[in-house]
């Protein structure tokens, strides 16, 4: 059988620890950053913003001449969650997309027209 090796203990180190105590780690002072105030302190403002978004994007759209488009499943899931949380019984995914696209065209109409005019016309 092999003999177990006993670990050697540094007696001087142990005496120092006992006499002086274990050295304590110094805490580094953390720089405190003041918390910024919430953007909307008044819940009425949040409700107004929520209502204006709902009124703008989740209002009912009557489709007379429809076309099919394809979106990813992830986008479909995200849009469905938004409609279920914010929308009414009359809100539909198609209506939500229609309102988003209409608003996009309204906001970027000049840029879209400029880019289209820069493209050379292709003869038929």
Residue with token string 């009912």: 60
Query: Given this model, what pLDDT does residue 36 score?
Result: 59
pLDDT tens for residues 4-40? 666 677 777 767 777 665 555 556 666 666 665 555 5
What pTM, to 2 d.p., does this model score? 0.55
DSSP letters spanning the chain? -PPPPPPP--HHHHHHHHHH-PPPPPPPPPPPPPPPPPS--SHHHHHHHHHHHHHHHSS----SS-------HHHHHHHHHHHHHH--TT--HHHHHHHHHHHHHHHHHHHHHHHHHHSPPPP-
Domain chopping of the chain, boundaries: 61-124
- Give the chain's residues under pLDDT 70: 1-7, 14, 19-51
């Amino acid at each position: 059988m092999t003999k177990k090796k006993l670990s050697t203990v540094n007696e001087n180190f142990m005496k120092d620890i006992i006499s002086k105590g274990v050295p304590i780690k110094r805490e580094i002072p953390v720089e405190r950053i003041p918390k910024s105030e919430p953007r909307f302190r008044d819940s009425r403002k949040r409700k107004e913003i929520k209502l204006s978004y709902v009124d703008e994007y989740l209002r009912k759209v009557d489709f007379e001449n429809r076309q099919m488009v394809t979106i990813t499943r992830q986008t479909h899931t995200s849009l469905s969650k938004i409609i279920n949380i914010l929308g009414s019984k009359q809100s539909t995914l198609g209506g939500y997309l229609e309102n988003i696209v209409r608003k996009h065209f309204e906001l970027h109409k000049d840029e879209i027209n400029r880019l289209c005019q820069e493209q050379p016309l292709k003869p038929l």
